[in-house]
C-alpha cells in the first residue's frame, strides 16, 4: 500500500485507488500524512477541520472520521494490521508509514541523494536521482483536499 500527496492525495493498492471520498476524512488523512510517523494532537485535527469554531461534538466527530479512515485502509490492504498503521494516542493519532510508502518521504530521500551525488562531483547520477524526485510530483500538493491551500 502506498500514499501520495505530491499532487492528488491517494491511497493506492497495486493499480487501484482506495482513497476515501468524504472531504473531512481526506483532511484528516492529509494531516496524518503531512506528519507521518509523528503524533497529531486532537486539537490540531480539530483546528484543521473547523478553525476557531468547532462544534461541541468535534472530538467524537474526529473519532468517526478516523474510524472511516481505518476502514478505507483495511479495504486497501487486508494484510495490514490496521491498529499498527493508524495508532490512537492519548492526545491524538499517529499514522505509521515506511519511507517508500509515501511519495513525499521518497522525494526527500531522492533529493538528499541527488544533492550528495552532485556535491561529490557525480552530475549524471545526481541528475537521474533529482529527475526521479521530480517525477513523483503530479500537481500541487494535496490538490483536491479541502483547506489544503
Q: How many other β-carbons are positioned within 10 Å of the β-carbon of residue 17? A: 11
Instruction: Return d(Cα 141, Cα 114) in angstroms, integer.
Output: 21
The CATH 1.10.10.10 portion of the chain extends over 2-97
Would you say residue 63 has pLDDT above 90?
A: yes
Grid cell of 55 as nine digits: 462544534
Mean pLDDT, all residues of the chain:
91
Q: Tell me: pLDDT of 148 over 80.
A: no
What are the tens digits of pLDDT across the range 134-146?
Answer: 999 999 999 889 8
Does the domain formed by 2-97 have CATH 1.10.10.10?
Answer: yes
pLDDT digits (tens, 9 = 90+) for 3-61: 999 999 999 988 788 899 999 999 999 999 999 999 999 999 999 999 999 999 999 99
What contacts 48, CB < 8 A, 6 or more positions away?
27, 28, 31, 147
Of the two residues 79 and 114, the one the predictor is more confident about is 114
Predicted confidence at residue 118, as pLDDT, reads: 96
| pTM for the structure as a whole | 0.88
Judge residue 57's burial from the number of C-beta atoms within 10 Å of its C-beta, 0-12 exposed, 13-18 middle, 19 or more buried.
exposed
Cell triple for 128: 537521474
Specify the residue for cell string 551525488.
117
Angle at 100 between CA 95 and CA 97, to 5 degrees: 10
Edge-to-edge order in the sheet of strand 2-4 = 2-4, 10-13, 16-17
End-to-end CA distance of the chain: 26
Confidence (pLDDT) at 73 = 81
Q: What is the per-residue pLDDT for 82?
A: 46
Please give the sequence-ordered ranges of beta strands (E in DSSP) within 1-149, or none if there are none.
2-4, 10-13, 16-17, 40-41, 86-89, 92-95
Amino acid at each position: 500500500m502506498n500514499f501520495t500527496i505530491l499532487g492528488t492525495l491517494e491511497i493506492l493498492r497495486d493499480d487501484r485507488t482506495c482513497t476515501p471520498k468524504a472531504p473531512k476524512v481526506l483532511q484528516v488523512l492529509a494531516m496524518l500524512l503531512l506528519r507521518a510517523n509523528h503524533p497529531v494532537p486532537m486539537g490540531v485535527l480539530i483546528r484543521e477541520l473547523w478553525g476557531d469554531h468547532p462544534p461541541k461534538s468535534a472530538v467524537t466527530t474526529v473519532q468517526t472520521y478516523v474510524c472511516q479512515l481505518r476502514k478505507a485502509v483495511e479495504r486497501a490492504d487486508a494484510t495490514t494490521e490496521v491498529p499498527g498503521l493508524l495508532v490512537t494516542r492519548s492526545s491524538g493519532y499517529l499514522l505509521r508509514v515506511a519511507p517508500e510508502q509515501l511519495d513525499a518521504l521518497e522525494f526527500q530521500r531522492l533529493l538528499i541523494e541527488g544533492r550528495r551525488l552532485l556535491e561529490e562531483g557525480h552530475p549524471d547520477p545526481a541528475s537521474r536521482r533529482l529527475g526521479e524526485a521530480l517525477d513523483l510530483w503530479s500537481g500541487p500538493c494535496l490538490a483536491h483536499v479541502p483547506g489544503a491551500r
